[in-house]
Amino acid sequence: MNNKPKIIFHIDLNAFYASVEMILDPHLKNRVFAVGGKGSYFRDGILTTASYKARKYGIKSGMSINEALNRYPRLIIVPNNFPAYHKYSNIFYNYLKQYSNQIYKASIDEVYMDVTEISKEIHPLELAKKIQTELNEIHGLPVSIGIGPTLFLAKMGSDYRKPLGITVMRKRDVPKKLFPKSIGSVFGIGVKTKERLNDIDIITIADFANLENKNKIIEAVGENIYYSTICDLNGDSTDFVDVNKHLIPQSISNETTLAHDIDILEVLKERLDELFEKTYGRLVKEDLICKSVFIKIRYSNFKTTTKTVSLSDYNNDYDQLKFIANELLENHYNGTPVRLIGVGFSNIIRKADYKEDRTLFNYEELDKKRA
C-alpha cells in the first residue's frame, strides 16, 4: 500500500480580470484602475476586481464603484470584458494540460492540479517556477502557486503570498505559516463565521486550533465547521483532484443562521442584501447567467420555505436580480421570527454558451445587439 503523500498544485491567476485588461491595453500597467460596472462615468455597479496598484488605496472586489471613486477619485474604471476573460482562462487551462491530465478547474481563474506523477521527473518547485515564468512571460498571466499534500493546504499556499508567489504548505508548515494568520483567511470561513469567532476572541488560526477553545467554538459556529476546519488544518482532508467534477453548478446560493431570531422586515432585508452581494459576486466572477432567483426562509419553529421566480430569459443583471430577491422576501415573509435566511440563483449556464432564439419577430433586434 502506497501511503506517500500526493503533490497538489493550486494555481491562482493574480487579479485575473485586471491582468487581462493590461494584456489588451498595456498602458494600464502604470495606472491605478479597477474592473467592473459600465465605464468610467458610471458610478453605480460593483467592482469585479482591482489592480494591485488600486488595492493600495483600499479598493477591492465587491466594492461599489461609488465607494471606490470616493477613495481614489482618479481611479480608472474598465468595463467588464467577459469574452476576453473566458478566452484567457482557456489559454491558462490548456497550457497546464501539458503537465497533467489531473486538473480540476475550480473557477475561471484557479485550478487544482495533481502533479504527483510528473514530480518523479522534475522537482515540484522547479516545475512550479517553470509554470509561473512561462505563464507570465509568454501569456502575460501572473499566477501564485501553492504546493501541498491536500487541496486545502495547496489553496492556502497559493493565498499565502501574492502576486507571483510560490509556497510549499506541508502539514509541518501549518503552525509556523498559518497559525499567526487571521481566522478569516481560512478557506471556507466566511465573513459571518469570522465575526462570530472574533466575538468569542478567536482571532487567529492558532486560537482556533487551541484545544482549550474547542467547546466555545462549537457553541458559536457548530460542530460541522469546527471539525471540518480542524481536519483541513491537520492535513487530513481530501487529496483527490476530481477532473470530472461538474464545473457549472445547478445552483449557487448563500445562507446564514441569524444570531437571534428576527421579525423586523428591514433587518431581514439587510441580511438578504449582504448574502445577495456575495452570491451575485460568484455569478459574475465565474461568468455565469441564471434563469431563476430563489430565497430560503427558516422560521423559529424550524418550518422552512423556499420561494422561486423564473425569469423570461437568462441574465445576470444586478438590479433586476436584486429587485426580484427583495420582492420575494416582501411577498412571502409571514411576519413571524426568522432563524435562517438565504438567497440564490438556479438554472445556470455559462454566459459564453448562451444563444438567443432567432425568430421572424426578433431577428432585427438580435442583429442590432450583436452588431
Domain regions of the chain by residue span: 1-169, 176-233, 251-353
CATH of 1-169, one of 3.40.50.1100, 3.30.70.270, 3.40.50.300, 3.30.9.10: 3.30.70.270
Confidence at residue 355, expressed as pLDDT on a 0 to 100 scale: 56
Confidence at residue 362, expressed as pLDDT on a 0 to 100 scale: 46
Q: Which residues contact 367 (CB under 8 A, 6 or more apart)?
A: none
Confidence at residue 259, expressed as pLDDT on a 0 to 100 scale: 83
Confidence at residue 248, expressed as pLDDT on a 0 to 100 scale: 65
Q: Give the model confidence (pLDDT) of 260-279 as tens digits.
A: 899 999 999 999 999 999 99
φ and ψ at residue 358, rounded to 5 degrees = -100, 115
Confidence at residue 158, expressed as pLDDT on a 0 to 100 scale: 96
Of the listed 110, 121, 330, 356, which one is catalytic? Answer: 110
Residue ranges of E strands in the chain: 8-13, 33-36, 47-50, 76-78, 103-107, 110-114, 143-148, 166-168, 251-262, 288-299, 304-315, 338-350
Confidence at residue 38, expressed as pLDDT on a 0 to 100 scale: 57
Confidence at residue 245, expressed as pLDDT on a 0 to 100 scale: 60
Residue 55 grid coordinates: 488595492
Q: How far apart are CA 147 and CA 156, in angstroms?
A: 9
Using CB atoms within 10 Å of the CB of residue 12, give its burial: 0 to 12 exposed, 13 to 18 middle, 19+ buried: buried
CATH 3.30.1490.100 is right for the domain spanning 251-353: yes
Please say if 134 is a catalytic residue.
no
Confidence at residue 361, expressed as pLDDT on a 0 to 100 scale: 46
CATH 1.10.150 is right for the domain spanning 176-233: yes
Q: Which residues contact 203 (CB under 8 A, 6 or more apart)?
A: 182, 183, 197
Confidence at residue 310, expressed as pLDDT on a 0 to 100 scale: 87
Give the three-class secondary structure for 76. strand
Which pTM value belongs to this model?
0.66
Q: Which residues pair with 204 in a beta bridge?
A: 182
Q: How far apart are CA 7 and CA 117, in angstroms?
A: 9
* Regions in the chain scoring below 50 on pLDDT: 1, 39-41, 246, 357-363, 366, 370-371
